[in-house]
A = this chain, B = another copy of it.
Amino acid sequence: MKRLIAALMVLLFTYSGSLCLAQSDQPAVVEDFKPASTNQPGRQFPQVNSEGRVRASISAPEAQRVQLDISAVKYDLIKDKSGVWTGDSDPQDEGFHYYQLWIDGAAVPDPGSLYFYGAGRWGSGIDVPAKDQDFYALKNVPHGQIREHLYFSQSENSMRRCFVYTPPGYDADLTKRYPVLYLQHGGGEDETGWPNQGRTNLIMDNLIAEGKAKSFIIVMDNGTWRWPENVPRPKRGERPKGGWPPKGWADGFMKTLLKDIIPMVDTSYRTLADQEHRAMAGLSMGGMQTRIITLAHPDVFSHVGMFSGGSISMEDVNNAPGFKDKIKLVFISYGSRELENRRMGFGGDPRANTDAISEAGMNTHFYVSPMTAHEWQSWRRSLHEFAQLLFQD
Q: Which residues of A contact B (CB under 8 A)?
A: 40-42, 58-66, 83, 101, 103-109, 111, 114-115, 120-123, 138-140, 143, 145-152, 159, 171, 174, 190, 195, 201, 268-269
Residues of B within 8 A of A104 (CB): 60-64, 103-104
A174 / chain B contacts, CB cutoff of 8 Å: 174
A58: chain B residues at CB < 8 Å are: 106, 108
A145 close to B143 (CB less than 8 A):
no
Q: In the docked arrangement, what's the CA distance between A147 and B61, Å?
A: 42
Q: Check if B145 sits within 8 Å of A147, measured CB to CB.
A: yes
- B152 and A106 form a contact (CB under 8 A): no
CB distance from A115 to the nearest CB of B (A): 5
Complex interface: chain B residues within 8 A of A105 (CB): 59-63, 83
Please name 6 further chain A to chain B contacts, defined as beta carbons within 8 Å, in addition to the given A62-B104, A103-B108, A115-B115, sorted by A numbering.
A63-B105, A64-B104, A115-B122, A140-B159, A145-B149, A150-B201
> Contact at A62–B59, with CB atoms within 8 Å?
no
Instruction: Name the B residues within 8 Å of A171 (CB-CB).
Output: 268-269
CB of B108 within 8 A of CB of A123, answer no
The answer to whether B150 touches A138, judged by C-beta atoms less than 8 angstroms apart, is yes
**Among B111, B190, B268, contact of A109 (Cβ-Cβ < 8 Å):** B111
* Cross-chain contact of A63 among B40, B103, B150 (Cβ < 8 A): B103
Q: Which of B101, B121, B159 contacts A138 (CB 8 A)?
A: B159
5 pairs of residues in contact across A and B, judged by CB atoms under 8 Å: A41-B190, A60-B106, A62-B64, A111-B123, A115-B115
Please give, as numbers and ranges, the residues of chain B lying within 8 Å of A101 by CB-CB distance. Answer: 108
A121 contacts across to B, CB distance below 8 A:
40, 111
A117–chain B nearest beta-carbon distance, Å: 8
**Bound-state Cα–Cα, A103 to B269, Å:** 48
> Which residue in chain B gives the minimum CB-CB distance to A149?
B145
Query: Of all chain B residues, which has the CB nearest A65?
Result: B62
Q: In the complex, what residues of B have CB within 8 A of residue A148's CB?
A: 145-147, 195, 201
Residues on the B chain within 8 Å of A268, using CB: 171
Nearest-CB distance from A127 to chain B (Å)?
Answer: 16
A115 to B108: give the CA distance in the assembly, Å: 13
